[in-house]
Amino acid sequence: MASRFQGRLREAYNAMSERVVDLMQGERGVRQSLDNALMKAREWVMAARELTHEEADDLATTLRREVDELSQTLVAAEEEFEDWVETDLLFAEHRAVECMLLAADPTTRDLMRLKEMWAEQMAQLLHAGDVVDAGAYECVGCGELQHFEGGENALLACPICKGEVYRRLRSAVM
């Protein structure tokens, strides 16, 4: 008798699941919310399968819980998939850049390095009016040196060429 009862509940559960899917997909052009679909499927199963209210409520509750668990699992899987895709794309981008650099001719690579070095040197250039510490500063235009001892001093325009761009000279001892 118990297996017959369980078989009847299993059949009712499957029928209720199918009915909820039909209602959620918009049977006759009308889409239902999950709760409305569960309620209508519960009523339909009670009428068609002659289940008690308690049995139908238990089946509806079980079905709702399983749908909630499935949706949580799908959301977690989607987040994991997004993380994986993002990581994979970053790796692919880095690999593509590496391959392009390997394929580039040596002259292009050297030119890129020179541009980077030039940008670094330009960032280190000083201009007339800049306040500098003690040391020697060379005019980029003509090579004239300005020497300062102690304290803070302002660079002046070059007395020889009137240039205003300098670079700090580093001692070979430093």
Query: What does the pLDDT look like over 111-133, one tens digit per residue?
Result: 888 888 877 776 688 889 989 88
Domain boundaries, the chain: 2-82, 120-168
Please check whether residue 51 is in contact with residue 59, taking contact to mean a CB–CB distance below 8 angstroms.
yes
Q: What is the pLDDT of residue 1?
A: 43
Do residues 41 and 23 touch, judged by C-beta distance below 8 A? yes
Half-sphere exposure of 63 (CA within 13 A, CB side): 26
Q: Answer whether residue 173 shows pLDDT above 70.
A: no
- Sort 37 into a burial class: Cβ within 10 Å, 0-12 / 13-18 / 19+: buried
pLDDT digits (tens, 9 = 90+) for 38-88: 888 888 887 876 678 888 888 888 888 888 888 888 888 888 888 888 888
Q: What is the pTM of this model?
A: 0.41
Lookup result for tokens 């509806």: 60
Q: Closest Cα to residue 170, out of 125, 136, 124?
A: 136
